[in-house]
Structure 1
Amino acid sequence: MKVLSMLFRPISTALIAAAALCASAASGFAQQSMPAQGHALTPAQRAEVIGLIKQELVQDPSILRDAIAALQADDQASQASAQSKAIAGSNKALFHDAADPSMGNPKASVSLVEFYDTRCPYCRAMRPEFAELIRRDPDVRVIFKDIPILGPNSVIEARALLAAQRQGHYLALQTALMSGSAETPTETYLSTLATKLGMDPVRFIRDMKDPDIASRLAANNALAQALGVTGTPAIVVGGQLVPGAVSLEDLQKLVAGAKAS
């Protein structure tokens, strides 16, 4: 259905024009069948136009393929333009929120923002890629925006991370949660992790329930929606939004492009 809607959206221009071109080869069609500008086609003329369209599509199916490809390209370009404007309008919230956890050089010339969920397997795959990127390039920073979209356990872990941040252990807990076996994040399990990482477990559990942390997560979700983020991971770099997990090589290309611009 999506393909059909994409095809017929511009039918009054692209396909009617194609039909008129076909008709110009037919004897007298241009003079007899096409109405003056501003007048609707008669039923007979419309049937003749549709007949020509069908005939051309049967004889040359590439017309349909090219039309769909052109529409998809136009939609993608429009979406990219809209996202670029949204990113520019959210620059401060994306790259200059002092409350956001991050890794790498705080004064780096290029910052990447990752919207992620701790329980997303593709987000987990990005952890070593980001670590290696920063090891190879000390002029890069990765900013983390927790958006727990995969259920209640994701929400609990996101709260735990922001609570751990208050004790300076965000990245340590992130590593523990995302390199493990995705255990159910019970209070006992999280308290044990907090203790192992050198945190005050009582304060940690108390902070998890702080309304301010819930507000931060809500703000992250609102920002993600404003940018058109539809899943995790989603990476913002150099004025563009890149959906899905990407390789280290692709990350390096994105960073190089951002530096060049």
Structure 2
Amino acid sequence: MLRKLLLSAALAFGALAAPAQALDLNAMSDAERDAFGNQVREYLMENPEVIMEAVRALEARQAEAQAEADVALVADNADALFDDGFSYVGGNPDGDIVLVEFMDYRCGFCKRAFGEVEKLLESDGNIRFVVKEFPILGEQSVLASRFAIATQMVAGDEAYKAVHDALMSFNGDITLASLRRLADTYGVDTAAVEAKMDDEEVTDRIRSTRALAQQLQITGTPTFVLQDELLRGYLPFDQLQTIVEDKRS
């Protein structure tokens, strides 16, 4: 990237310092090319802030292009994102704003974001929240997601929410034994859930979410979709609230 920036700066400098026909580097003699390079180097050494200005301009341009591409990706995958028919829907199901979270129970930043999201849902009261089970951090992540999805299928959304919240707050190793203890705490039929965990439908739900994430170019957790915008990474309550307010306005 720095090499491209230096070349751009050189061409820009050359446009000011040399006749138009001399800007074709391939048409220059070795002596002309050396002289031109020395002029550019001297200018950049005297004005190093130009390089940082170019870096910032490039980063802003790339961020804008990424945001535009993300809007298109969200629009193209709206049905799978917002109404796939199986993902848990919480908050206010009839809310005027939709927040989707791709999460992993072993993800430290997901656990950190959990309280922020809960605070946002409670304080706002008009956000539809969709959870995407996206286990990408190893076997324990997959085990936890299978258990949570099986709980939803066996005992419904209320039981899923209780198990989901407990897993988001859990910091130990995720094993069948720890999951059994967790399920017993909430009165879930552990045997029925365990029997369902390896069901093909559970596998299909995880596979579908992974395929959706691939379509959206999501590679990490947490990743949020807020209305038409992809938000990659952890965001605190204040930032989430500000974005929600911007969407409404």
TM-score by length of 2: 0.90
1:174 aligned onto 2:160: no
Alignment match of 1:131 (pick from 115, 118, 131): 118
CA distance in 2 between partners of 1:245 and 1:222 (Å): 22
Structure 2 counterpart of 1:100: 87
1:188 aligned onto 2:177: yes
Q: Say which one has the larger Rg.
A: 1
**Contact 1:232–1:244 (Cα < 8 Å) also in 2:** yes
1:215 aligned onto 2:204: yes
Change (3 A) 1:147 1:209: same
CA offset digits 1:6-44 (Å, max 9, x no partner): 525xx3x55213123133xxxxxx38x717x79733333
CA distance in 2 between partners of 1:216 and 1:203 (Å): 18
What amino acid is the match of 1:58? M
SS at match of 1:55: helix
**Contact 1:103–1:142 (Cα < 8 Å) also in 2:** yes
CA offset digits 1:17-72 (Å, max 9, x no partner): 3123133xxxxxx38x717x797333333222212211111111112111111111
1:184 positional shift: 2.3
What amino acid is the match of 1:7? L
Structure 1 counterpart of 2:246: 257
Q: Which has the higher contact order (CA 8 A, sep 6+)?
A: 2
Alignment match of 1:148 (pick from 122, 135, 143): 135
1:234 positional shift: 1.1
Task: Looking at secondary structure, tell me which structure has more helix per residue.
Answer: 2
What amino acid is the match of 1:179? S
**Contact 1:153–1:184 (Cα < 8 Å) also in 2:** yes
**Contact 1:130–1:142 (Cα < 8 Å) also in 2:** no
CA distance in 2 between partners of 1:227 and 1:233 (Å): 13
CA distance in 1 between partners of 2:33 and 2:53 (Å): 23
1:125 positional shift: 1.7
Q: Percentage identity across aligned positions? A: 33
SS at match of 1:163: helix
Structure 2 counterpart of 1:34: 22
What amino acid is the match of 1:15? A
What amino acid is the match of 2:70? Q
1:236 aligned onto 2:225: yes
CA distance in 2 between partners of 1:50 and 1:175 (Å): 61
CA distance in 2 between partners of 1:218 and 1:6 (Å): 40
CA distance in 2 between partners of 1:221 and 1:6 (Å): 35
Structure 2 counterpart of 1:82: 69
**Contact 2:93–2:129 (Cα < 8 Å) also in 1:** no
Structure 2 counterpart of 1:64: 51
Structure 1 counterpart of 2:186: 197
RMSD: 2.1
Structure 2 counterpart of 1:22: 17
Structure 2 counterpart of 1:51: 38
Structure 2 counterpart of 1:26: none
CA distance in 2 between partners of 1:233 and 1:89 (Å): 21
